[in-house]
Amino acid sequence: MNMTLTEAKELVQGIYYSLKFPGQVDVVVAPPFTALAQVSQIAKDTYIDLAAQNLHEEDQGAFTGEVSGRFIKDAGANYVIIGHSERRQYFNETNELIAKKISAALRHELKPIVCVGETLEERETDSHFAVVEDQITGAIKSFNEAELGHLVLAYEPVWAIGTGKVASIEQIDEIHRHARSVLAGVFTKSFAEKVRIQYGGSVKPDNAKEILSLEHVDGALVGGASLKPHDFVTIIKAAQ
Ligand code: PGA
């Protein structure tokens, strides 16, 4: 819940003016629903793609206050973030609901960016591998490989989001390897290799390069540092 319409427009313009060519990097910004349609007018002439931060699992109807994949697509986004830890934590989103939301995204040709990650308590009780495995399996098991051709997975340890505490390189490396093997276990190795696995949780200009250099880290889901064009562009350059 950051950025008014004006601020979101300025952010996208700021990113584009500071970096004209992102090279091989896919750049996606996820403004609030209220800014999507207008920001998409600005972004459409640039390399910047748009995501929504959430969607409802139904397409339309008597769900006052909710926003569906149909409207998100109509507003000009191509991606949607699903199951962010704040949604899991404050809005009781379960693995089952998240699977329904992925289905809704796919119906409207929105690429799902599905977030997984353990809480501090789960890490301290050494259940992080099992939690992440459950979250990934719960999200994807009711689909087939072809349906999930554009799946993006974001591993975000809850204790590292917005806290300035970044997971260590070893912690990121081992859990990303684990995530890749869980994906391969549900479907196939070739499927697992195609899924982009992003790391999120206090990614900043000064740690992005080291994190993004890891073999199984294919990108970053950036919160706080994405709100400043200069910081975000520095992270895009680290990805390049
Ligand atoms: P952060 O946020 O980069 O500020 O930790 C990540 C997120 O919101 O997913």
Cα torsion 208, 210, 216, 220 to 10°: value is 0
Q: With a 6 A CB cut-off, is 156 part of the ligand 1 pocket?
A: yes
Distance CA 199, CA 238 (A): 14
pLDDT greater than 90 at residue 164: no
Tell which one of 86, 161, 165, 235 to mutate to probe ligand 1, the residue whose CB is within 8 A of the most ligand atoms. Answer: 161
Cα of 154 to ligand 1 centre, how many Å? 11
DSSP character for 95? H
pLDDT value for 166:
81
Instruction: Report the atom number in ligand 1 closest to the C-alpha of 160.
Output: 5
Instruction: Please name the residue whose Cα sits nearest to atom 2 of ligand 1.
Output: 223
pLDDT value for 100:
98
Please, what is the average pLDDT of the chain?
A: 97
Contact 110, 72 (CB under 8 A): yes
Cα of 61 to ligand 1 centre, how many Å? 32
pTM of the predicted structure, to 2 decimals:
0.97
What's the pLDDT band for 73 if we cut at 50, 70, 90? very high
Q: With a 6 A CB cut-off, is 221 part of the ligand 1 pocket?
A: yes
**Average pLDDT over every residue of 143-156:** 97
**Average pLDDT over every residue of 79-91:** 97
Instruction: Please name the residue whose Cα sits nearest to atom 1 of ligand 1.
Output: 223
- pLDDT, tens digit, 9 for 90 and up, residues 14-69: 999 999 999 999 999 999 999 999 999 999 999 999 999 999 999 999 999 999 99
pLDDT greater than 90 at residue 212: yes
- pLDDT, tens digit, 9 for 90 and up, residues 93-125: 999 999 999 999 999 999 999 999 999 999 999
Residue 59 CB neighbour total at 10 angstroms: 14
Residues 6+ apart with CB under 8 A from 72: 33, 36, 52, 55, 80, 108, 110
Distance CA 100, CA 113 (A): 14
Buried b (16+ CB within 10 A) or exposed e, 151-190: bbbbbbbbbbbeeeebbeeeebbebbebbbebbeebbeee
Q: Which of 162, 172, 167, 168 lies closest to 225 in space, CA to CA? A: 162
Instruction: Report the catalytic residues.
Output: 84, 156
Angle CA(97)–CA(33)–CA(235) in degrees, nearest 5?
Answer: 90
